[in-house]
Structure 1
Amino acid sequence: MRLCATAAAGALSLVLVTGCGGDGSKNAGEAPGKGAGEPAAQALGATELTKRIIAEGEVPGYKVGPVTGGLAAKGGARADDARCDPLLHALTGIAPGTPAAKTSRMATEVKKRPTGGATSPDGMAGGGFEDAIKRSMDLDVTVVTLASYDGDGAERALKSVSDAVTACADGFSGEQDGEKGTFTKVTEERSAGTGDASVAFTATDDAGEDGAMPLHAQVVRHGNTLATYTTVNIGAGMAEKPYTVPAPVVRAQAAKLK
């Protein structure tokens, strides 16, 4: 359904970082103090963000390119409860808050195709063909969105996501470009621990006949820039196999923001 799949271009966690685990991350709700007379942070421009976002060849095991199918306009993705808007925006590849500049890329996992064996319904007995379809769709697709903010905009935007995880834990409904959908629950997860502060979460989409589909997201602050990662794996979801935002994508992007 498009509401949940747009971040993965139509093909288709929140750990509130508490500073534990020795990763050096700060709580998502913490805003670092600024000394008297210290100049306010200034956002990076679109050109600089384009240089800093991941590119093809920089993430082992993944193909990186433009976001096919486009991302939703911010005004076209709204939750029924406004407190949940930051979650819906993250899940649809929209940067939270009001960034001065932003850019996005899609990282698609590349797996070797199996060789030999039957590949058609007639050549597979039982549930073999259905299993093969699930395996073929067992690919992590991640949209990475970089956004830069003036002043304390990045801290405030990250806190809005953190607050939304608590407020919307029992689920929420939303609408994107005229299509409606429901997330039955929002679950906090442990983030990758990169950056100055971060939040990570899973939102479960009530996909009806296709069963529940989890979508995973992380929002990581690097100074006054936020990196939002949105991952879906349809094959894993169909097979009820756990997955999360892939660490290689997060590591590669974090390295370009140092």
Structure 2
Amino acid sequence: MKRSSGARIGATLAVSALSLALITGCSDEGSDDAKESGSGSSAPAAKTYTAAELQKLILAKGDLDGYEVEKTLGAPETKDEVTTDDEKCRPLAFAMSAQAPGDAKAETTVTLTQEKKAPTDSASKSLEDLAEGEFEDTMADAMNVSVTMVGLSSYEGDGAAETFKSVSDAVKGCSGGFTVTADGEKQKLTKVTAEKGSGTGDESVAFASEGEMDEEMGKGTVHAEVVRHGNTIATYYTINLGALMTQKPYTIDGTVVTAQAKKIK
């Protein structure tokens, strides 16, 4: 990989959560069968929350050791800014761009980033002192953290159940991929693959999607999960740019999913 690629990816991480959402890929570890599961525990009360209530329920600073919690930046301001060439696939695009996947009464979102461990010896050198191989390794190591966008959205009536079904149906119906347009930029996703859900909440579905990053890096891998808790939908979208740079597999950040599920209960 050339140095320009590492710099470009670093800028993507710093500037736009939406850009991360459009750099997508699938995991070879997922089954071809859609996997949905419930926690088996008693369901939470089917309450429709206000935006203020959701902000108290979503993960916040101090809730999870080893993570920084920040406002999600760079996401579309309205759902009209995110379109797909196949309408049934649109809920998946929403789940990957910090938007409620359905017609929600209220919604909120945050981004959790793993705190980086102490740098390696090569990472402590100036970039000018690094050999080409060291530069690549240093860039990958610096970005080898999970960044997860978490969204909570609340629905009236059967809205949450219908929204969850639209996501589950899209995972199955959009397996051949689809094209997302956001901010005037198009991104072709070539495959959507069902993965094992966390089993939190009343029902959950996880998926990964495939798309080209650039000519040098080829395809990448990102993961998402959607969970229904009564009338509330939680969405999770995890990206690890270090893993993408080195073509190493990674998964949805289960630590974040578990912590958020506990806070909703």
Q: Which residue of 2 aligns with 1:207?
A: 213
Q: In 2, Cα distance between the equivalents of 1:53 and 1:211?
A: 35
Query: Could you say what secondary structure the match of 2:150 adopts?
Result: strand
Q: Which runs of 5+ in 2 are unaligned?
A: 1-7, 24-29
Secondary structure of the residue aligned to 2:59 is coil
TM-score (norm 1): 0.85
User: For each residue in 1:27-76, what CA deviation from the matched residue of structure 2 results, as whole angstroms up to 9, or x when unmatched?
Assistant: xxxxx9xxxxxxx9552111111110000111121101211234442111
Of residues 109-118 and 140-149 in structure 1, the stretch that sits farther from structure 2 once superposed is: 109-118
Stretch of structure 1 that moved more, 221-230 or 113-122: 113-122
1:91 Cα shift? 1.1
Contact 2:201 2:227 in 1 (8 A): yes
Residues 101 and 148 of structure 1 are in contact (CA less than 8 Å); yes or no, is this contact kept in structure 2? yes
Q: For 1:54, which of 43, 52, 59 is the aligned residue? A: 59
Match of 1:196 in 2: 202
Counterparts of 1:188 and 1:205, CA distance in 2: 15
| TM-score normalised by the chain length of structure 2 | 0.83
Alpha-carbon deviations, 1:58-116, whole Å to 9, x = none? 11211012112344421111111111111111111111110100001110111113253
Q: Give the structure 2 partner of residue 252 of structure 1.
A: 259
User: How far apart are residue 156 of structure 1 and its match?
Assistant: 0.4
The separation in 2 between residues aligned to 1:138 and 1:239, in whole angstroms, is 10
Q: Distance between the aligned counterparts of 1:161 and 1:81, measured in 2? A: 13
Q: Distance in 2 between matches of 1:131 and 1:19?
A: 38
Moved more, 192-201 or 203-212: 203-212
Q: Does 1:178 align with 2:184?
A: yes
Share of identical aligned residues, percent?
44
Partner AA of 1:139 in structure 2: V
Answering whether residue 135 of structure 2 is matched by residue 129 of structure 1, we say yes
Question: Shift in Å at residue 153 of structure 1?
Answer: 0.5
CA apart distance, 1:181: 0.5
1:96 matched to 2:101: yes
In angstroms, what is the RMSD of aligned CA positions?
2.8
Verify: 1:110 aligned to 2:115, yes or no.
yes
Instruction: Give the distance between the partners of 2:96 and 2:142, measured in 1 at CA.
Output: 23
For the pair 1:149 / 2:155, whether they are aligned, the reply is yes
